[in-house]
Amino acid sequence: MTDFTDLTAGEAVFETAFPVTRDDLAAYAEASGDRNPIHLDEAAAEAAGLPGVIAHGMYTMGLASRAVLEWVEQAGLEAALTDFSARFAKPVVVPAGSGTTVEIEAKVRKADSEAVQLAITARSGGEKVLAPARATLSRA
């Protein structure tokens, strides 16, 4: 079981990668109610000046939350996510068929006995797509 005080600023805490396909975006569109066609349809995305179908920013942020929650579980932390923010720096382009991958890693930004703040970066297609994302976990 990890305690927040075991964590030190600058320490890398996780690195993971998730595959993303257009089927995933369609499922997220249904679940979230965000059915903007730039996330579903090639022609609509190109008409909007995009290189192709892109993931919802909130889908990518959702994957970042998944990475955080999986780390919390593995580390055995008794923690609640109290603050979570992200900047969508570049779109995640999702080609038809095999799709793409989003790589997510996190470092400790600061930690004390009550809370830990993570700095999270996400990359896809060689670009930083979340820059930066921050998650604050507080002792539950």
Partner 1 sequence: MLNTSYVGRSLPTTEPVAITADSVARFAAALGLRDAAKVPPTYLISLTFPAADPLLDDSDFGLDWSKVLHREQRFAFHRRPRVGDEVTCTPTIESIKTVAGNDLLVLRTAVDGTDGPVAEVWTTLFVAAGEDE
What is the three-class DSSP state of 99? coil
Q: Which of residues 6-25 bind partner 1 (CB under 8 A)?
A: 18, 24
The smaller minimum CB distance to partner 1, of residues 8 and 49, is found at: 49
Strands 100-111 and 127-139: unpaired
Map tokens 């030190």 to a residue.
8
Do the Cβ atoms of 42 and 54 come closer than 8 Å? no
- Single out the residue of 2, 17, 62, 119 in contact with partner 1 (rule: CB under 8 A): 62
Question: Is residue 114 at the binding interface for partner 1, with CB under 8 A as the rule?
Answer: no
Which CB sits closer to partner 1, 10 or 27? 27
Smallest distance from partner 1 to CB 38, Å: 9
